[in-house]
Amino acid sequence: MSRTIAIASGKGGVGKTTLTANVGIALAKSGFKVLLVDADIAMANLSLLLGMHSSPITLHDVLLGESNVEDAIYDGPGGVKFMPSGLSLESYRRVDSDRLQSVVKQVAGDYDFVLLDCPPGIERTVMASLAASDEALLITMPNPPSIADVLKTKLVAQRLGCNPIGVIINFSTGEKGEVKGEDIMKMLELPIYGVIPMDAEVRRSFMQENVQPLMLRKPDAPASVAMRKIAAKISGAKEAVIAKPARIGFLTRLKNIFKRGKK
């Protein structure tokens, strides 16, 4: 059975896009068919995180009724499929986000999991993403403003018939003063689906020459380990085993340089 899950938060910058990409890859590595949808139609950046730069047809074109949904789905890294959003402000202005629900419905049956990377806040585009999803996973930082905002998202989701299944705490440092998981669980009346530590490797994923999601670049980084656990909690399957990318040794690099020189 196909599951459509909105990855949502109150505030921006709490890790929705990071989570969508990496949890999606972990689910795909466990053998599930996964579609990631960049539902942040105003500030699309899931493509950047996935290291995918050329996507001529996007969700914008589909929402505008100018393209078929199948044509806006691409092969992403780690075995996921991916529907990017457009970057043009002009097309964003004309897009009817209320059509998202019917677009997602058209393709959801082909996948085990459809994850929607939501915009922040509770504006129209967020509501469209929640309405298009059966379930929502909420993400918050362990501080009161972030929790207060995600509580609003939870209530909006419920009103739209989207079932909030749990909360994920991101940017955890374990410092004194951080709101404890137990208290977050009580405040939101939701189970904790995982705690992702603050991990400098997450940001470094953007700094590489070839951007690659953390789950593939550094599967043993603490944030990757936490996100694999979250994927296993979502699916109920065993945690995916992801091999570290092979390091090219000094001798091989030297040989390659030598070979190039000969051409």
Ligand X SMILES: Nc1ncnc2c1ncn2[C@@H]1O[C@H](COP(=O)(O)OP(=O)(O)O)[C@@H](O)[C@H]1O
Which of 196, 230, 231, 242 touches ligand X (CB under 6 A)? Answer: 196
Strand partners, 75: 81
Give strand pairing partners of 195: 169
Q: What is the dihedral of CA 89, 93, 97, 100, to 10 degrees?
A: -50
Applying CB under 6 A, does 103 fall inside the site for ligand X?
A: no
Assess 17 for contact with Mg ion (CB under 5 A). yes
Distance CA 221, CA 263 (A): 39
Instruction: Return the DSSP state at 81.
Output: E
- Give the E-state strand segments of 11-134 in sequence order: 34-38, 74-75, 81-83, 113-117
Are the C-beta atoms of residues 14 and 171 closer than 8 Å to each other? yes
Cβ closer to ligand X: 38 or 61?
38
Q: Does 146 bind Mg ion (CB under 5 A)?
A: no
Look at residue 22 and give the partner it binds from ligand X, Mg ion, none, a contact being a CB closer than 5 to 8 Å depending on partner kind. Answer: none
Q: Which of residues 115-174 bind ligand X (CB under 6 A)?
A: 170-171
Other CB atoms within a 10 A radius of the CB of residue 105 amount to 13
Q: Is 129 in the site for Mg ion (CB under 5 A)?
A: no
Residue 253 CA to residue 255 CA, distance in Å, equals 5
Residue among 12, 144, 161, 245 that touches ligand X (CB under 6 A) = 12
Q: Examine residue 20 and tell whether it contacts Mg ion (CB under 5 A).
A: no
Stretch of residues binding ligand X (CB under 6 A), selected from 61-69, 72-80, 87-95, 195-203: 195-203
Instruction: Choose from ligand X, Mg ion, none: what does 103 bind? Cβ within 5-8 Å by kind.
Output: none
Per rule CB under 6 A, is residue 18 in the interface with ligand X?
yes
Determine the angle formed by the axes of helices 124-131 and 100-108, rounding to 10 degrees.
Answer: 30
235 binds, among Mg ion, ligand X, none (CB under 5 to 8 A by kind): none
- The yes or no reply on residue 17 touching ligand X (CB under 6 A) is yes
Interacting residues with Mg ion (CB under 5 A): 16-17
Positions that interact with ligand X (CB under 6 A)? 9, 12-18, 170-171, 196, 198-199, 202-203, 223
